[in-house]
Amino acid sequence: MGFFPESASSFGGEIDRLFWAIFWITGFFFLLVQAGLLFFVLKYRSRAGRKASYVHGHTGLEVIWTVVPALILLVLTIASQKVWSEIRSPRRMPKDALHVEVLAEQFAWNIRYPGPDQRMETPDDITTINELHLPVNRPALVSLKSKDVIHSFFVADFRVKQDAVPGLTTQVWFTPTKLGQYEIRCAELCGLGHYRMRGQVTVQPRRDFEAWLVETKANE
């Protein structure tokens, strides 16, 4: 089961737990149906003298297999909604988040930090291409825009994906919890260079991050 990259964000673990809950529940029904299919086909395979039963249905059974899955799906929906609202509800976005703007274009990620004045589009902004640096354990709020077509900001290790749509500003937030380097992949077909629209996230200790900002500004 080691297919998932290790979770490196605050809610990555919750998404994984939800995945595995659905995995075990659907896995149970998967096995139930496959085993039932195989068992019935072997047990009731035609042979001399067998006659099929003349049965048209069974109301009790039919009620059970309508109601039980409905209840399970209700629980899954509620559990999903809990996580969804935590991640996506505008009211629950952290106030102290580090604000970053990512402007996607064919086929690169333009990254902008507001600089000391905490405002975008001012001379003290810090800009990079394809290199997103974030401090560890501080919420990051990414505002996504696009110059041309739709792109999608996907960091598998954070379990984060959000489309960047021209004409709109979309937002997504997360808290990186592990130091390291992770890939940004474009997850929405954006043209012939879609496959190589790769960026990199570097999650650093706070002090290193501050130093990197200063250094990047100096090199601009």
Contacts to other proteins from residues 23-82, by CB under 8 A: 23, 26, 29-30, 33-34, 36-37, 40-41, 44-46, 50-58, 61-62, 65-66, 69-70, 73-74, 76-77, 80-81
What's the min distance (Å) between Cβ of 116 and other proteins?
Answer: 28
What's the min distance (Å) between Cβ of 217 and other proteins?
Answer: 25
Residues from 6 through 25 that contact other proteins (CB under 8 A): 11, 14-15, 18-19, 22-23
What's the min distance (Å) between Cβ of 134 and other proteins?
Answer: 18
Q: Note whether 87 and 11 are within 8 A (CB).
A: yes
| Cα-based distances in Å from 215 to 127, 199, 212, 219 | 12, 20, 5, 6
Question: Phi and psi at residue 187, in whole multiples of 5°?
Answer: -105, 5
Q: What is the contact mask toward other proteins in residues 154 to 193, using x (rule: CB under 8 A)?
A: x-xx-xxxxx-xxxx-x-----------xx-xxxxxxxxx
CA distance 48 to 62: 31
What's the min distance (Å) between Cβ of 97 and other proteins?
Answer: 17
CA distance 199 to 152: 12
Q: Report the amino acid identity of residue 32.
A: L
Q: Note whether 101 and 111 are within 8 A (CB).
A: yes
What's the min distance (Å) between Cβ of 120 and other proteins?
Answer: 16
> Segment contacting other proteins (CB under 8 A): 3-11, 94-102, 113-121, 211-219?
3-11
Number of residues that bind other proteins (CB under 8 A): 85
Q: Which residues contact 110 (CB under 8 A, 6 or more apart)?
A: 102, 103, 104, 127, 129
- Which residue's CB is nearer to other proteins, number 23 or number 122? 23
Residues from 102 through 161 that contact other proteins (CB under 8 A): 105-106, 147-150, 152, 154, 156-157, 159-161
CA distance 213 to 134: 10
SS3 label, residue 12:
helix
- Which residue's CB is nearer to other proteins, number 113 or number 182? 182
